[in-house]
Structure 1
Amino acid sequence: MVARRDGSVDVATLAADLSVSPETVRRDLRVLAALGLVRRTHGGAHPVESAGFETTLATRATRHVPQKTRIAAAAAELLGEAVTVFIDEGFTPQLIAQALPQDRRLTIVTTSLTTAAVMAERDHAQVLLLGGRVRGTTMATVDQWAKEMLAGFVIDLAYVGANGISREHGLTTPDPAVGQVKAQAVKSARRRILVGIHTKFGAVSFCRFAEVRELEAIITDTSLSATEAQRYSLLGPQVIRV
């Protein structure tokens, strides 16, 4: 599917590429949306990640990069007095790690091999990489070893990501093994901040690992409407649009 390969589709571009009418493309997108395979956007659609489909870290590093960079900077500003910090797998959490102050002594706990490599080069950072099976799609560790290591920690602040964010179903992810680790990170942390671009909102994946009310803050981009942000804030967290 073009949407999965490119991250999104534009009705006009797709119609021209396929030599069909825009209405034909819109009709097909409506069918795919009804099947839960894509989510419609103004003028196009983007793929929905499910138990059978998940984008790779390399792909995520090419999509919505300016928005993710702003989100990461805003997340780093909420560090506060935290000394022990969990950083989730994914590209946006990796950007958060890079945005954290370099003159602060921090203990970074992460499942991400790429984040661990970045932070290990810092003089003032102690890095704890959780053990377990490494997922090739995200270059992150999962399964029981990672979960058990996290269960032994009390973490000041957790930066977490999700494949889907829904008021009804909370925070979700396609892979049960990933969901277990994320759930333990939420449980082990005193503070929890969710980061995610606007396309995550309203999407529901396979495994629920947290409720919206458990979050201190949600940081996203301004393509999420102020009205929708207000609906999420009524469940408890501060919603920051950047």
Structure 2
Amino acid sequence: MSADRDQVKQALDAELNSAAFVDYCPNGLQVEGSATISRLVSGVTASQALIDRAIELNADAVLVHHGYFWRGEDPCLVGMKGRRIRALIQAEVNLFAYHLPLDNHATLGNNAGLGRALAMPSWRSLKATDVSYPVFTGQYEKSQSLSDITAQLSRCLDRSVVTVGDDRKSITSVAWCTGGGQGYIDDAADAGVDLFITGEMSEQTIHVARERDIAFIAAGHHATERFGVQSVGNWLAEMFGIDHEFVDIYSPA
């Protein structure tokens, strides 16, 4: 089966509520290709490797979390960016990219996926009044040790994670932000949670965790942002009857 490109765009924009976000990049259809879509490839970042693989798979569209045209970026389509976009246009492949909207969706987003990986029974935004605020929080019904949570995340994400804190620390409340969310550790500490999880860490993050007595896990930027594109891709496939394949281009970040 195939779907009309504009109908796919409208469905994505509506489900992800993209108009509500002030973001660092445009959300939605970033590069226009074929008017119909029968095969969708999803991936974290619109790298050349992902584009090449999508073309090999005869995809009509690519859905990513990290697309193009970031705020402050050189707008000229030259060099690496020119090659990427030229490949998409020549193959008539549509590029859909959603950044903050894909982090924040309550069930299909990256944060929701990490919540499931944590076996969290439920979650909510740490600031419910701000739709674009990217930190979720939840509580375990029964406390767990930091070491147990670390082991579970390592299994679910298939990678080693970095942990700061006593492995024996009892954890009940958790806040998390996928990707590069280390700057929100103070908000998590202010909220009084036991553990903050994100993808990356900065040098100062370690000291904040130690001095504010909050456990911290850096689980990988790429690893924690694989959830959303897969969930949304599967949702589109079911809605429109199109084929979907997630392509994981390895990144140690």
The answer to whether the superposition gives a TM-score over 0.5 is no
Tell which has more relative contact order, 1 or 2 (C-alpha 8 A, sep 6+). 2
TM-score normalised by the chain length of structure 1: 0.29
TM-score normalised by the chain length of structure 2: 0.28
